[in-house]
């Protein structure tokens, strides 16, 4: 008898009705062009991965000041929203739900993306890590700038932008939205003491640092049923120059408070394969299980075996896969049939800044057919 295959068994809870527990993690693929509008190429990419129980889109900008990655999509105009229609239709043909990830890049952006304005942040604390290519850098990485701290009067405006974006996502037919509260982007920089030095209602204590995310969640709930809203956090992450000494207290509090809202899920980058700040023992999924009673989604560095193990141990309900899904569009079929996985996609294929330069990975069956001819 083989081990029970929980990863591939259906998952039903609240409004989530998933054919299996494998989720496509949100991944920026930079295929939306300089007009930041989702297109047929992206519809094909998502449809290829519709064997997952559920898909989460790549980070999508809710506002002009949220922009911060070349050729990533937005949803702050009606045209941008309409660009997502082919993707939603293609994925729904397979009966798979798709959530849109809302991504305000905050201090990880650059003025080159923002008509010369400085990126926005809770406080003027500069990202000292790796720079990014910008629309004016000709492929070179530019260092980050010291961001501008949002004034207290500007914060409701940013929240309103999230709300408008969430409305557009709903009108165009997404099944829900995921709030990107991870990886050192705007919301995460509000949550963490490393980057939030405010002494007003939005900083200075664990509770106050949570306020920005709390208000965004509440704004989402004026648009969406709570079960169609997810939140993503990265308590252990060092990506984008993050990591705070009080991470455990902060993120335990965040999870506990988020539990009050009966959300669709809490998505936690618990694994360390995307960078670890080493400021203490990493937070594990069971710590979140203790305080968050709803659906948990774990991520980062999982393979089939470790995903099965964590589900069987009760540490998570769902597992999202990022990099394995790039070179294995049919990841679920490969798991189900014990087919070998393709090698991990090299980093220079992750982002395709020109429309011709993208890599389309074959399914296992396509690969076999091609080998025979």
Catalytically active residues are 185
Taking the least distance from each CB to ligand FMN, the nearer of 59 and 133 is: 59
What is the rounded CA–CA span in Å between residue 143 and residue 86? 36
Find the part of the chain contacting ligand FMN (CB under 6 A) among 107-115, 127-135, 196-204, 294-302: 294-302
What is the rounded CA–CA span in Å between residue 326 and residue 300? 14
Q: Which of 19, 23, 26, 110: binder of ligand FMN (CB under 6 A)?
A: 26
Find the part of the chain contacting ligand FMN (CB under 6 A) among 1-9, 143-151, 165-173, 298-306: 298-306
User: If binding is defined by CB under 6 A, does position 316 make contact with ligand FMN?
Assistant: no
Find the part of the chain contacting ligand FMN (CB under 6 A) among 151-159, 212-220, 251-259, 295-303: 295-303
Beta strands 176-180; 98-102: pairing state? parallel
Q: Which of 20, 87, 183, 352: binder of ligand FMN (CB under 6 A)?
A: 183
Find the part of the chain contacting ligand FMN (CB under 6 A) among 189-197, 198-206, 252-260, 315-323: 315-323
Beta strands 120-121; 296-299: pairing state? unpaired
> CB nearest ligand FMN: which residue?
322
Q: How far is the CB of 269 from ligand FMN (least distance, A)?
A: 5
Which residues, 85 to 114, sit near ligand FMN by CB under 6 A?
101, 103
User: If binding is defined by CB under 6 A, does position 321 make contact with ligand FMN?
Assistant: yes
SS (H, E, C) 182-214: CCCCHHHHHHCCCCCCCCCCCCCCHHHHHHHHH
Q: How far is the CB of 182 from ligand FMN (least distance, A)?
A: 5
Q: Which of 16, 25, 165, 231: binder of ligand FMN (CB under 6 A)?
A: 25
Taking the least distance from each CB to ligand FMN, the nearer of 28 and 109 is: 28
User: If binding is defined by CB under 6 A, does position 322 make contact with ligand FMN?
Assistant: yes
Number of residues that bind ligand FMN (CB under 6 A): 24
Which residues, 188 to 247, sit near ligand FMN by CB under 6 A?
232
CB 342 within 8 A of CB 19: no
Nearest partner of 209 among 273, 175, 254, 243, judged by Cα: 254
Q: Which of 124, 273, 313, 355: binder of ligand FMN (CB under 6 A)?
A: 273
User: If binding is defined by CB under 6 A, does position 297 make contact with ligand FMN?
Assistant: no
What is the rounded CA–CA span in Å between residue 32 and residue 37? 5
For the stretch 62-85, what's the b/e string if a residue is b when 16 or more beta carbons lie within 10 angstroms of its beta carbon? bbebbbbbbbbbbbbeeebbebbe
CB 102 within 8 A of CB 162: yes
Binding site for ligand FMN (CB under 6 A): 25-28, 58-59, 101, 103, 180, 182-183, 232, 269, 273-274, 299-302, 321-324, 350
């Amino acid at each position: 008898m083989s081990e029970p295959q929980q990863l591939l068994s259906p998952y039903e809870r609240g409004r989530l009705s998933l054919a299996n527990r494998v989720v496509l993690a949100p991944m920026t693929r930079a295929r939306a062009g300089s007009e930041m509008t989702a297109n047929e190429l992206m519809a094909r990419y998502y449809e290829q991965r519709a064997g997952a129980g559920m898909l989460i889109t790549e980070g999508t900008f809710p506002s002009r000041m949220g922009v911060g990655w070349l050729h990533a999509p937005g949803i702050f105009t009606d045209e941008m929203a309409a660009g997502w229609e082919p993707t939603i239709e293609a994925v729904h043909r397979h009966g798979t739900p798709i959530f849109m990830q809302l991504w305000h890049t905050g201090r990880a952006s650059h003025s080159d993306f923002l008509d010369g304005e400085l990126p926005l942040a809770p406080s003027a604390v500069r990202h000292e890590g790796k720079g990014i290519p910008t629309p004016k850098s000709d492929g070179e990485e530019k260092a980050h700038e010291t961001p501008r701290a949002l004034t207290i009067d500007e914060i409701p405006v940013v929240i309103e932008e999230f709300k408008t974006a969430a409305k557009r996502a709903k009108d165009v037919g997404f099944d829900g939205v995921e709030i990107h509260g991870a990886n050192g982007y705007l919301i995460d920089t509000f949550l963490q003491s490393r980057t939030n030095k405010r002494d007003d209602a939005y900083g200075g204590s664990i509770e106050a640092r949570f306020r920005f995310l709390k208000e965004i969640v509440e704004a989402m709930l004026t648009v969406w049923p709570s079960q169609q809203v997810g939140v993503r956090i990265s308590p252990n992450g060092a990506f984008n120059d993050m990591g705070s000494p009080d991470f455990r207290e902060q993120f335990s509090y965040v999870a506990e408070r988020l539990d009050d809202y009966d959300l669709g899920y809490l998505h936690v980058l618990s694994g360390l394969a995307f960078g670890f700040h080493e400021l203490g023992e990493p937070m594990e999924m069971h710590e979140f299980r203790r305080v968050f009673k709803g659906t948990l989604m774990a991520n980062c560095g999982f393979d089939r075996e470790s995903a099965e193990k964590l589900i069987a141990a009760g540490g998570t309900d769902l597992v999202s896969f990022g990099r394995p899904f790039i070179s294995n569009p049919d990841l679920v079929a490969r798991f189900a049939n014990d087919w070998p996985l393709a090698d991990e996609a090299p980093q220079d294929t992750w982002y395709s800044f020109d429309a011709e330069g993208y890599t389309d990975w074959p399914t296992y069956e396509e690969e076999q057919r091609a080998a025979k001819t």
